[in-house]
Structure formats: structure tokens, C-alpha cells
């Protein structure tokens, strides 16, 4: 390979790398994790617990983005605080730690790309697949698997604060395939009636977050 060809290849590689880097976004944030299941048959905001997340996003164009998230948090529930006589009679409580890694696709309703002449924003929806591991505070009541597939989906809003900095507000639901997030699941007729659960439905959890992200963009200054 001649020297000129090597130089051309180097310039092309650096240009491609720079173009790719300008489509990358990283960030993190805090939020609240909640749960719906046997000990919380409806959405109870009082059961929310603190969570945190780190994200990596790739923006190939203005409409679609691809993102991977690491989410850490915990969920909680208490039968005695639920407005249902069966729950109050059962009197169970739980706390479970959750670690989640997911990959999702985002669809922006408006063209979303940083422009130095104005602050951009858009609502978006997302959906994908992930892996979730959970660890109950109390001793396991059954021999269930604590590593599970989850289906994350939800809505959010992106807002460009200034330059490469964006704020993301998001509400997401996690469809699970386990009934043991609350350490209470399965069909066990040997249990007293007031200690059994609704084994026909899987548990699910939610994560509401506020994240700050940084885009690797090149800002051209006027001469």
C-alpha cells in the first residue's frame, strides 16, 4: 500500500470515527421504582423507592434512537397499607432489590437534533427487552429463579438545555414473567386461604426517572 493510500485511509477512518462519535450520548439520573402485584394490586405512590440509572444512546437520525440502560433500585409493598380487606388480613410486607440491563428503541415524535439556534424538544415512546435480577430481603419462600427476562416500554420527553446537554423525563413499565418479585407466588393450596395470592398474574414494576445526558457534538464557532 502506497503512502498516499495509507494517508487517505487514515483520514477516512478519523472522519468516520468523528461522525460516529457525534451520534453518541451518555448520561445518568435518579428516579423512583414502584411495583404492582399481590401485595400492591393497584398503583400505590407511597410504595415508591429510590432508583438510579446509567445510559448509553446512539442517535443514527432525528427520529430513531437506540439505547442501553443499567437500572438499579428496589421495590416495596405492605399489605397493611392497602385498601383491601384481604390484603389487610394477610398482613405481608416485602422489599426486593432489582438490577436491570436493557436495550430499547426510541421513536421521537418530532425531529430531534441539536441546533445552536434554538432549544429542541420532543416526546418519545420506547420499547425493548432486558434482563433483570432481583433479591428479596427475606428468605425465599420457594425455589424460583431470580434472573428473568423483562419487556421495558414507556413514554418520555427529551429537552435540550444548552449545547450538548439534554434532560430526559421518562415513565417506564416492566412486563415480567415471574410472580415472585414480592416473594409471594405460585399455587400452594396447602397455605391458609388468607395467606394465598393471585397466582394467575405476573408481578410488574415501574421506573420513573429524570436523567441528564451529554451528546458528543461539534459546535462550529463563527469566524
CB 111 within 8 A of CB 62: yes
Taken in order 138, 143, 149, 150, the sign of the CA dihedral is: negative
CB 154 within 8 A of CB 126: yes
Does 6 map to a domain?
A: no
For residue 96, what are the domain limits?
24-215
Question: How many domains does the chain contain in total?
Answer: 1
Q: Give the pLDDT of residue 41.
A: 84
Phi, psi angles (nearest 5°) of residue 202: -80, 155
Does 12 map to a domain?
A: no
User: What pTM did the predictor assign?
Assistant: 0.82
Whole-angstrom Cα distance, residue 65 to residue 62?
Answer: 8
Q: Give the pLDDT of residue 126.
A: 98
- Tell me the pLDDT tens digit for each residue of 143-163: 899 999 999 999 999 998 888
Does 153 map to a domain?
A: yes
CATH number at residue 29: 2.40.160.20
Does 7 map to a domain?
A: no
Does 106 map to a domain?
A: yes
Output 45 or 5, whichever has higher pLDDT: 45
- Tell me the pLDDT tens digit for each residue of 130-143: 999 999 999 988 88
Q: How deeply is 126 buried, as exposed, middle or buried, from its count of CB atoms within 10 A (0-12, 13-18, 19+)?
A: buried
**Separate counts of helices (H) and strands (E) for the chain:** 2, 8
Does 192 map to a domain?
A: yes
How far is residue 5 CA from its own chain's centroid?
46
Band (pLDDT 50/70/90 cuts) for residue 86 is confident
On the question of pLDDT at 213 being above 70, the answer is yes
69 strand-pairing partners: 55, 102
Does 137 map to a domain?
A: yes
Band (pLDDT 50/70/90 cuts) for residue 214 is very high
Does 64 map to a domain?
A: yes
Output 116 or 205, whichever has higher pLDDT: 205
Query: b/e map of 5-17 (b: 16 or more CB within 10 Å)?
Result: eeeeeeeeeeeee
Whole-angstrom Cα distance, residue 129 to residue 149?
Answer: 7
Amino acid at each position: 500500500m502506497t503512502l498516499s493510500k495509507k494517508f487517505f485511509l487514515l483520514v477516512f477512518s478519523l472522519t468516520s470515527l468523528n461522525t460516529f462519535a457525534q451520534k453518541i450520548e451518555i448520561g445518568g439520573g435518579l428516579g423512583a421504582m414502584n411495583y404492582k402485584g399481590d401485595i400492591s394490586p393497584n398503583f400505590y405512590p407511597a410504595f415508591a423507592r429510590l432508583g438510579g440509572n446509567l445510559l448509553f444512546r446512539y442517535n443514527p437520525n432525528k427520529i430513531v434512537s437506540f439505547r442501553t440502560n443499567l437500572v438499579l433500585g428496589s421495590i416495596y409493598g405492605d399489605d397493611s397499607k392497602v385498601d383491601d380487606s384481604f390484603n389487610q388480613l394477610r398482613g405481608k410486607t416485602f422489599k426486593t432489590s432489582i438490577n436491570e440491563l436493557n436495550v430499547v428503541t426510541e421513536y421521537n415524535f418530532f425531529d430531534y437534533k441539536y441546533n445552536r439556534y434554538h432549544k429542541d424538544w420532543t416526546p418519545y415512546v420506547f420499547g425493548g427487552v432486558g434482563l433483570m435480577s432481583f433479591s428479596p430481603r427475606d428468605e425465599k419462600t420457594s425455589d424460583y429463579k431470580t434472573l428473568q427476562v423483562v419487556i421495558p416500554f414507556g413514554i418520555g420527553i427529551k429537552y435540550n438545555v444548552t449545547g450538548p446537554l439534554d434532560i430526559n423525563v421518562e415513565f417506564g413499565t416492566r412486563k415480567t414473567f415471574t410472580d415472585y418479585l414480592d416473594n409471594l407466588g405460585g399455587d400452594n393450596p396447602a397455605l391458609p386461604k388468607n395467606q394465598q395470592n393471585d397466582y394467575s398474574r405476573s408481578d410488574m414494576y415501574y421506573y420513573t426517572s429524570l436523567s441528564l445526558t451529554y451528546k458528543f457534538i461539534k459546535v462550529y464557532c463563527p469566524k
